[in-house]
């Protein structure tokens, strides 16, 4: 968000809107099984859903670390990809 926004106010307002949307899609506001089927299919692509599912698996379902490693790997790849994307965008923006 810091690389896309030009002012603090833009970053704050867009950030809040994105947090609300992504939290609802990730299953943080309501359980995924209460959502319509179309939204349930979208939660598969949400990093918030991956982390919440891993948290539930570890602490509520007594799963071991091997069980949540695929989600940890997806979260790591998402974070790395986001960092690379932001770094590339900032480098291109600086050149212009």
Which pLDDT score, from 0 to 100, does residue 95 have?
A: 77
Query: Considering the domain boundaries, does residue 39 fall inside one?
Result: yes
Q: Is the pTM of this model over 0.85?
A: no
Is residue 68 in some structural domain? yes
- 76 in a domain, yes or no? yes
Centre a 10 Å sphere on the Cβ of residue 72 and count the other Cβ atoms it contains.
13
Specify if 14 maps to a domain: yes
- Say if 23 falls within a structural domain: yes
Provide mean pLDDT across the span 4-10: 86
**Main-chain phi, psi angles of 67, to 5 degrees:** -70, -35
Is residue 86 assigned to a domain? yes
User: What's the number of domains the chain is made of?
Assistant: 1
pLDDT at 90: 87
Q: What is the pLDDT of residue 30?
A: 87
How large a percentage of the chain has pLDDT more than 90?
52
Judge whether 3 lies within some domain. no
27-61 pLDDT per residue, tens: 888 888 888 998 889 888 999 999 999 999 999 99
Angle between helices 47-59 and 8-26 (to 10 degrees): 50
Q: Which domain holds residue 34?
A: 8-95
Give the count of beta carbons closer than 10 Å to the beta carbon of residue 26. Answer: 20
C-alpha 29/C-alpha 11 separation (Å) is 23
For residue 2, being part of any structural domain is answered with no
């Amino acid at each position: 968000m810091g690389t896309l926004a030009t002012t603090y106010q833009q970053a704050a307002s867009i950030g809040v809107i994105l947090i609300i949307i992504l939290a609802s899609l990730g299953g943080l506001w309501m359980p995924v099984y209460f959502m319509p089927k179309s939204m349930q299919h979208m939660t598969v692509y949400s990093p918030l859903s991956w982390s919440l599912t891993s948290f539930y698996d570890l602490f509520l379902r007594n799963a071991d670390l091997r069980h949540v490693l695929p989600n940890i790997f997806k979260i790591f790849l998402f974070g790395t990809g986001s960092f690379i994307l932001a770094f590339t965008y900032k480098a291109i923006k600086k050149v212009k």
